[in-house]
């Protein structure tokens, strides 16, 4: 059959794979359309590297396979982008920082390799907040520049995986990979109307297939993880299944599902966010979901005792080990820090080099983090909850600050607060506890900006959480494509 450009761009990852497997769609034609789309939308700054020749060659190899072999590839011909801090042999991995510009690592991250082995095609590397230490994706270091939200290019897309989310929302690719330390997958998913998944970390199970300390330019081995991003939750489940080797998803019915509403994460929301989120609750309640208010009054305090000390302390040694293991052109953390271009990231690395939170690290890791994990686990158990639900971010996308990279924001005229703190508040506790978190589209504000809802599940409940997300998404629907 003959496909139009619009039909190519509308395909979800699952739809594209099915069409290529059946022979109805040529992978090379599809990839060529998306490469043209990437070139046409270069002003969004979503990508730092485009592998035009490599992607087309890989697609042609898929097309040349016998029909039976092609049909057995779970991701046959699927074009993806990979965040620029995830190792890819043959393509640069710079983490958006000058000291690593143009560096090509010797190996490919295991998560990426599993996707390639399943037939995926890497279209390019995605732009990001410098060194992943930020939530705006306003990168002042790369040639690409600040990543721009396709729903309004004057606004941030969220970060640090902003390039991946923008490429997906703008229909440059149907899916990709990001990384998440405190919200870096879920925040940009929320602000761009896409879906993003942070897998469990620390349960010793399938999540280990995402987690390799030498395969990703690191912040914290305790908190970092690779994760899939896409336009639908079903596509997240597709990529997750390939990476983890997981079996089919469980069947989940919304009727009777018990979902907790944690009070601290519903407080202090921007009015336009709360309006969309409350409307989503009404739709889900009508579908039979049982919402359970949960106090969780200790959540903020427990989380504040853990996240910062772990990330700031681990960042030094983890980065040093990555530089050495990969033969990077700069072999010291001080050497990387000396060339940081973004003021907000430079300030954080000053703390990393000085180890300003080092004296709190052992207690944060060995006392406060287990206490937070026990608190969260008890909430799920005591209230017999299938998941927690809350707005992924307290506010919608804000204007890009091209001078400082990060600044302050005000929520409905309240006193200004730090931009990173404002956007991280709701996503960070799941990261700290290591539980799985899923952001999906909840709807649009009156001004046309996407709003995300986050579902968190108990540790190790990844596949069931994705199944719940699919059921929720079927009720709430998908946002309209951006007009660009």
Q: What is the pLDDT of residue 247?
A: 78
Residue pair 337/343 in contact by the 8 Å Cβ criterion: no
Dihedral, CA of residue 66, residue 72, residue 75 and residue 78, to nearest 10: 20
For 445-464, write each residue's pLDDT tens digit: 999 999 999 999 999 999 99
- In the predicted model, is pLDDT for residue 203 greater than 70? no
- In the predicted model, is pLDDT for residue 205 greater than 70? no
Q: Kindly list the distances between the CA atom of residue 117 and the CA atoms of 58, 70, 164, 410, in Å, as whole numbers in the listed order.
A: 12, 12, 21, 46
Residue pair 179/86 in contact by the 8 Å Cβ criterion: yes
Q: What angle, rounded to 10 degrees, do the helices at 307-326 and 343-354 form?
A: 90
Mean pLDDT for 145-165 is 97
- In the predicted model, is pLDDT for residue 91 greater than 60? yes
Please name the residue that has the structure tokens 């309640």.
285
Q: Kindly list the distances between the CA atom of residue 76 and the CA atoms of 83, 111, 114, 195, 321, in Å, as whole numbers in the listed order.
A: 21, 16, 12, 21, 35
Q: What is the pLDDT of residue 143?
A: 74
Task: Residue 135: name the closest of 159, 170, 118 by CA.
Answer: 159
- In the predicted model, is pLDDT for residue 190 greater than 70? yes
Phi, psi for residue 228 in degrees, rounded to 5: -80, 150
Residue pair 476/449 in contact by the 8 Å Cβ criterion: no
Please name the residue that has the structure tokens 């087309």.
56
- In the predicted model, is pLDDT for residue 336 greater than 60? yes
What is the Cβ-side half-sphere exposure of residue 228, based on CA atoms within 13 angstroms? Answer: 27
What is the Cβ-side half-sphere exposure of residue 440, based on CA atoms within 13 angstroms? Answer: 25
For 173-185, write each residue's pLDDT tens digit: 999 999 999 999 9
Confidence tier at 140 by pLDDT (50, 70, 90): confident
Sign (positive or negative) of CA dihedral 302, 307, 312, 316? positive
Instruction: Cite the beta strand spans of 36-183 per DSSP E.
Output: 47-50, 79-83, 121-126, 175-180
Q: What is the pLDDT of residue 403?
A: 64
What's the order of all strands across the beta sheet hosting 258-262?
47-50, 121-126, 79-83, 175-180, 225-230, 195-198, 437-444, 450-456, 387-391, 258-262, 290-294
- In the predicted model, is pLDDT for residue 20 greater than 60? yes
Q: Distance between CA 116 and CA 211 in Å, rounded? A: 17
- In the predicted model, is pLDDT for residue 208 greater than 80? no
Q: What is the pLDDT of residue 406?
A: 62
Question: What is the chain's mean pLDDT, rounded?
Answer: 95
Q: Distance between CA 399 and CA 401 in Å, rounded? A: 6
In angstroms and rounded to an integer, the radius of gyration of the C-alpha atoms of the chain is 21
Residue pair 354/315 in contact by the 8 Å Cβ criterion: no
Q: Distance between CA 319 and CA 216 in Å, rounded? A: 10
For 366-415, write each residue's pLDDT tens digit: 999 999 999 999 999 999 999 999 999 999 999 998 766 668 899 999 99
Which domains are seen in the chain, by residue range?
5-476 (3.90.1300.10)
For 264-274, write each residue's pLDDT tens digit: 999 999 999 99
Sign (positive or negative) of CA dihedral 116, 120, 123, 126? negative
- In the predicted model, is pLDDT for residue 474 greater than 90? yes
Q: What is the pLDDT of residue 149?
A: 98
Mean pLDDT for 190-205 is 88
Mean pLDDT for 84-96 is 97
Q: What is the pLDDT of residue 204?
A: 52
Active-site residues: which are they?
83, 160, 184
Q: CA angle, corner 200, sides to 263 and 295, nearest 5? A: 15
Structure tokens at 355: 């180890």
Q: How far apart are the first and last CA of the chain?
A: 27
Q: Distance between CA 168 and CA 123 in Å, rounded? A: 12
């Amino acid at each position: 059959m003959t496909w139009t450009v619009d039909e190519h761009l509308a395909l979800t990852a699952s739809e594209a794979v099915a069409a290529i497997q059946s022979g109805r769609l040529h992978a090379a034609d599809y990839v060529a359309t998306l490469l043209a789309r990437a070139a046409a939308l270069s002003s969004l700054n979503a990508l730092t590297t485009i592998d035009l020749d490599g992607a087309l060659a890989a697609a042609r190899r898929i097309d040349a396979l016998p029909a039976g072999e092609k049909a057995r590839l779970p991701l046959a011909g699927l074009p993806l982008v990979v965040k620029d801090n995830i190792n890819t042999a043959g393509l640069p991995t710079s983490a958006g920082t000058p000291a690593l510009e143009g560096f090509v690592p010797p190996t490919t991250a295991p998560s990426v390799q599993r996707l390639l082995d399943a037939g995926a095609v890497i279209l390019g590397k995605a732009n990001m907040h410098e060194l992943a230490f930020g939530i705006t994706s306003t990168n002042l270091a790369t040639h690409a520049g600040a990543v721009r939200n396709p729903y309004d290019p004057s606004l941030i897309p969220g970060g640090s995986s902003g390039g991946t989310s923008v490429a997906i929302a703008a229909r440059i690719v149907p899916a990709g990979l990001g990384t998440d330390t405190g919200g870096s997958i879920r925040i940009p998913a929320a602000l761009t109307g896409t879906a993003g998944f942070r897998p469990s970390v620390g349960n010793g199970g399938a999540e280990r297939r995402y987690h390799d300390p030498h395969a990703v330019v690191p912040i914290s081995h305790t908190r970092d993880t690779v994760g899939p991003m896409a336009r639908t939750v079903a596509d997240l489940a597709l990529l997750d299944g390939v990476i983890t080797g997981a079996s089919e998803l469980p069947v989940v019915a919304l009727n009777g599902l018990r979902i907790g509403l944690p009070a601290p994460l519903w407080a202090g929301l921007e009015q336009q966010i709360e309006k969309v989120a409350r409307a989503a609750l009404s739709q889900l309640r009508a579908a039979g979901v049982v919402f359970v208010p949960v106090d969780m009054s200790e959540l903020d305090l427990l989380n504040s005792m853990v996240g910062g000390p772990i990330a700031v302390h681990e960042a030094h040694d983890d980065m040093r080990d990555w530089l050495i293991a990969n033969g990077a052109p700069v072999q010291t953390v001080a050497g990387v820090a000396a060339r940081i271009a973004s003021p907000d990231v430079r300030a954080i690395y000053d703390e990393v080099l000085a180890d300003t939170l080092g004296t709190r690290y052992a207690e944060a890791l060995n006392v406060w983090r287990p206490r937070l994990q026990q608190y969260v686990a008890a909430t799920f158990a005591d209230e017999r909850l299938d998941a927690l639900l809350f707005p992924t971010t307290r506010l919608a996308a804000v204007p890009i600050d091209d001078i400082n990279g990060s600044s302050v924001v005000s929520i409905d005229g309240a006193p200004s607060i730090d931009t990173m703190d404002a956007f991280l508040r709701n996503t960070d506790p799941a990261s700290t506890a290591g539980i799985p978190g899923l952001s999906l589209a909840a709807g649009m504000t009156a001004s046309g900006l996407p709003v995300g809802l986050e579902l968190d599940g108990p540790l190790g409940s990844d596949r069931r959480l994705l199944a719940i997300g699919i059921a929720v998404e079927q009720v709430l629907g998908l946002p309209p494509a951006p007009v660009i």
